[in-house]
Chain A
Amino acid sequence: MKTICLYFEIHQIIHLKRYRCFDIGRDHYYYDDYENDRSITEIAERSYIPALTTLIQMAKDNKGAFKIAVSLSGVGLEQLEIHAPRVVELLHELNETGCVEFLAEPYSHGLSSLANEECFREEVQRMVQKIKQVFGQTSQVFRNSSLIYDNEIGGIVADMGFKGMLTEGAKHVLGWKSPHYVYHCAYNPDLKLLLRDFKLSDDISLRFSNSEWSEYPLLADKYINWIDSTPKEEQVINIFMELSALGMAQPLSSNILEFLKALPACAKEKGITFSTPTEIVTKLKSVDQVDVPYPMSWVDEERDTSCWLGNLMQREAFHKLYSVADRVRICTDRRIKQDWDYLQASNNFRFMTTKETGVGLNRGIYDSPYDAFTNYMNIVGDFISRVNSLYPVDMDNEELSSLLTTIKNQGEELVELNNEVARLREELKKSEAAAPKKTSTRKTAAKKTTKKAEN
């Protein structure tokens, strides 16, 4: 029996403002609030709200037969909480139908998986907690930012206890193999992989409203027939896309939501079901391993990391940013931690690409890759100097970390001892008030000893 795994990504970056070199050291606020508000409101109104409303309706109408998976980036969720709380409400409503699974992903939607393992683990954990706290679900399946995956990342993710991971079914990795099976990670067979069928996914997210496309107009029964006509043994059809594809990339006027609504009924006719990633990875067995020595992603024709790290400027920005990763992890300054999340978002690197893809790229406020680089480096320059001013630069991280641990331990000890003192004082008072003189002298002695310990 075939099953469709439908997954939507929700992520929007925090836009950086125009930040000149003169601002370095003077201005530590890096964000364009107006643009953030404007863009997120627009996307929410044109895409997220109608799309989520439809998905909720579909979940209710099909009574458990229609299921989807959703992942949110931490920064995206923060944006929605501030500027478009209606979307968060809808997500709660969707959650209540019980037909949605929330996946884990790095909090910042950044490239930490390629740079710093500890930093990566930390932000994934943070995202898992956030999902638990907001939606009450414990994520068991992971998806990396832009589906970036290689063997090493798979190993780390498996080590963190995830059962499955979503990634791209890139042709250069799969070769003759079909993405319609469950595979596993080459480094750890416990981690199952679901591979995106880029053809069927892009039919919806890229081509749906293109009237020059030979398959235009795409109707739900035709689409389901395509899925049905795949060989019998191929059981999992992974259709992954950004949620904003419904409404932004493909305008609502193309009736994309009507198409979506018709899918469950058509699928039912052919005996095709919908499943969440967790159901698939628990039910189905892996057929083979996938060996991915170099990172791949779901972006561009190349399906690699070249759109973020393809040129010298991008690599420089990337290395500069992650050069302070350990310091940021150690520190406790909340503003620095927050800026760290926002600056990591992979979109910031994408703005600097010089690749000719033939597809127009919205560079936001920047008019060229050099402009994007200059602005970002000014901000990173300021950020790094703030991080460096926290602790001495010439001290190495291990030493610093052990010192910080010592300080933290001593602090905790102090708190404990203070509590002890307070408790004993309390007892003393009680006994002084109630008991005869004899016992009180004994207590005073005890108090003296605790004071010594404190010193």
Chain B
Amino acid sequence: MKVLMFGWEFPPKIYGGLAVASYGITKGLSVQGDVETTFCLPKPCGQEEGFLNIVGMNQVPIVWRDVDYDYLKSRLTTMTPEQYYAYRDHIYADFSYMHVNDLGCMEFAGGYPKNLHDEINNFSIIAGVIARSQEFDIIHAHDWLTYPAGVHAKMVSGKPLCIHVHATDFDRSRGKVNPTVYAMEKDGMDHADCIMCVSELTRQTVIREYHQDPRKCFAMHNAVYPLSQDLQDIPRVEHPKEKIVTFLGRITMQKGPEYFVEAAALVLKRTRNIRFVMAGSGDMLNAMIELAAARGIADRFHFPGFQRGRQVYEAYKNSDVFVMPSVSEPFGIAPLEAMQCGTPSIISKQSGCGEILKKVIKTDYWDINAMADAIYSICTNQALFQYLQEEGKKEVDGITWEKVGLRIRALYEDVIKNYGK
């Protein structure tokens, strides 16, 4: 089976959870042996793993240029000159009014720049070239940035379209959506033959807020990859005297950081030998620093800033409790990672990952009393800590991308079988 996938992020370049999920899904599909994935990315860095075909959209021509073979060879990083010529044969309109380089390609900044909407548009123009030149059975588009590309590819090729909802604008904005983004999301969903949502929670949002037919919406929970040996070897730090409670994520409205600060203030009224760490950066960072100071807990509340790569795992292993009080979390992979590191997690009931996790404590995000109580309980009762640590690790080890890959595969087959009926 051949799958044409559109994505915005892919490891090793990681901006957020999307890259990790894209990797897991493609890897989970690839181990089945007979699924061939072509993954279109705006700007690959050239160090991506080789189990799938990465297509750099910044190297696919949309304007015909007569380029020399050897020159091409020196310029192209993710494809061969033959592939370039093949794409060049499928240019479908005159885009010479666009800003293109000497190869007839458009440049991408990558990530999430200021002119994101232009890049999304460019991405979908190039998708037209790809869809005309490639052979595939199904299209799979990850998140709203690539929905226009997916829809375009469907229009051109007539193949079924699956879209993967990793988040909706309703989650990001606590209900006050950006109309442009909403329009793009809704259009993608309307054209899709199958909508995979990362949790039942998201599925319900898609059905309720985007008015989609429940029959084409499916919950497809994420998973985690086992930690590499290198990360497993990071030692866990024991804190016999002072326990450490950690929040790790973007410090932004969606993640509910203020509830964490309020809960911390409540816990610190009861006991002083707990320290709180809020790692990450975001638009609410300064407000949180002020709030911690206003509650008079700044001496026990720390902001180490954005954590990268290995630091993230070091932070998990240095914690006794991990808290994710998200107001609305489509999935939320962080607690699974914390559990892999042996750190008990407290998550909000409004988090999608709670649907597949049992060995975690769930509270409502607004219920700071319950949250504080749970933090206090794990920090003071060794038995609860140990139970959640051991059982949590076991549970999360059973959640694998291979299983997710199998389920996606089954869905693909269903969609292809029923397409056009």
A binds B: yes
With contact pairs A22-B266, A22-B269 given, residues A374 and B384 touching in the complex (Cβ less than 8 Å): yes
Interface contact B384-A373, CB-CB below 8 Å = yes
Interface contact A21-B372, CB-CB below 8 Å = yes
B159-180, CB < 8 A from A: none
Per DSSP, chain A at the interface is helix
Interface contact A313-B372, CB-CB below 8 Å = no
Interface contact A21-B382, CB-CB below 8 Å = no
Provide the residues of chain B in CB contact with A368, threshold 8 Å.
Answer: 361-362
Interface contact A313-B374, CB-CB below 8 Å = no
Is B69 part of the contact surface with A, judged by Cβ < 8 Å?
no
Is A216 part of the contact surface with B, judged by Cβ < 8 Å?
no
C-alpha gap A24/B374 in the complex (Å): 14
Provide the residues of chain B in CB contact with A378, threshold 8 Å.
Answer: 373, 377
Is B30 part of the contact surface with A, judged by Cβ < 8 Å?
no
Can you report 29 residue pairs joining A to B where beta carbons are below 8 Å apart? A20-B369, A20-B372, A21-B270, A21-B380, A22-B266, A22-B269, A22-B270, A311-B387, A312-B383, A312-B384, A312-B386, A313-B383, A313-B384, A313-B387, A316-B381, A316-B383, A316-B384, A368-B361, A370-B384, A371-B361, A371-B370, A371-B374, A373-B381, A373-B384, A374-B361, A374-B376, A374-B384, A375-B373, A377-B384
With contact pairs A21-B373, A377-B377 given, residues A370 and B383 touching in the complex (Cβ less than 8 Å): no
C-alpha gap A381/B270 in the complex (Å): 13
Is A315 part of the contact surface with B, judged by Cβ < 8 Å?
yes
Provide the residues of chain A in CB contact with B372, threshold 8 Å.
Answer: 20-22
C-alpha gap A24/B386 in the complex (Å): 23
C-alpha gap A311/B380 in the complex (Å): 18
C-alpha gap A413/B361 in the complex (Å): 57
Is B388 part of the contact surface with A, judged by Cβ < 8 Å?
yes
Name A20's closest neighbour in chain B (CB-CB).
B373
Name B349's closest neighbour in chain A (CB-CB).
A367
| A371 → chain B closest CB, angstroms | 7
With contact pairs A22-B269, A24-B270 given, residues A374 and B383 touching in the complex (Cβ less than 8 Å): no
Cβ proximity bits B258-271 to A, threshold 8 Å, 1 near / 0 not: 00000000110110
C-alpha gap A354/B384 in the complex (Å): 12
Number of A interface residues, CB 8 Å?
Answer: 21
Provide the residues of chain B in CB contact with A311, threshold 8 Å.
Answer: 387
Cβ proximity bits A359-383 to B, threshold 8 Å, 1 near / 0 not: 0000000011011011101100100
Name B390's closest neighbour in chain A (CB-CB).
A312
Q: Tally inter-chain residue pairs, CB-CB below 8 A.
A: 61
Per DSSP, chain B at the interface is helix
Q: Which of B266, B362, B370, B377 contacts A373 (CB 8 A)?
A: B377
C-alpha gap A311/B382 in the complex (Å): 13
| A75 → chain B closest CB, angstroms | 25
Name B360's closest neighbour in chain A (CB-CB).
A370
C-alpha gap A45/B355 in the complex (Å): 38
Interface contact B373-A370, CB-CB below 8 Å = no
Provide the residues of chain B in CB contact with A312, threshold 8 Å.
Answer: 383-384, 386-387
Interface residues in chain A, defined as those with a beta carbon under 8 Å from any beta carbon in chain B: 20-22, 24, 311-313, 315-317, 354, 367-368, 370-371, 373-375, 377-378, 381
Provide the residues of chain B in CB contact with A316, threshold 8 Å.
Answer: 381-384
List the 6 closest pairs (A to B, CB-CB), nearest first: A316-B383, A374-B377, A21-B376, A312-B387, A370-B361, A312-B383
Q: Which of A317, A374, A381 contacts B374 (CB 8 A)?
A: A374
Provide the residues of chain A in CB contact with B376, threshold 8 Å.
Answer: 21, 374
| A356 → chain B closest CB, angstroms | 10
C-alpha gap A21/B370 in the complex (Å): 9
Provide the residues of chain A in CB contact with B266, threshold 8 Å.
Answer: 22
B181-207, CB < 8 A from A: none
Besides A20-B369, A313-B381, A378-B373, 5 other A-B contacts (C-beta < 8 A): A20-B373, A312-B387, A313-B383, A315-B383, A370-B374
C-alpha gap A378/B372 in the complex (Å): 12
Provide the residues of chain B in CB contact with A21, threshold 8 Å.
Answer: 267, 270, 372-373, 376-377, 380
Provide the residues of chain A in CB contact with B388, threshold 8 Å.
Answer: 370
| A208 → chain B closest CB, angstroms | 33
B369-421, CB < 8 A from A: 369-370, 372-374, 376-377, 380-384, 386-388, 391
Provide the residues of chain B in CB contact with A377, threshold 8 Å.
Answer: 377, 380-381, 384
Residue among A21, A354, A373, A375 with max Cβ neighbours from chain B (10 Å): A21
C-alpha gap A381/B373 in the complex (Å): 13
Provide the residues of chain B in CB contact with A370, threshold 8 Å.
Answer: 361, 374, 377, 384, 388
| B398 → chain A closest CB, angstroms | 14
| A310 → chain B closest CB, angstroms | 11
C-alpha gap A317/B381 in the complex (Å): 9
Provide the residues of chain A in CB contact with B380, threshold 8 Å.
Answer: 21, 377, 381
C-alpha gap A315/B374 in the complex (Å): 19
| A194 → chain B closest CB, angstroms | 37
| B228 → chain A closest CB, angstroms | 29
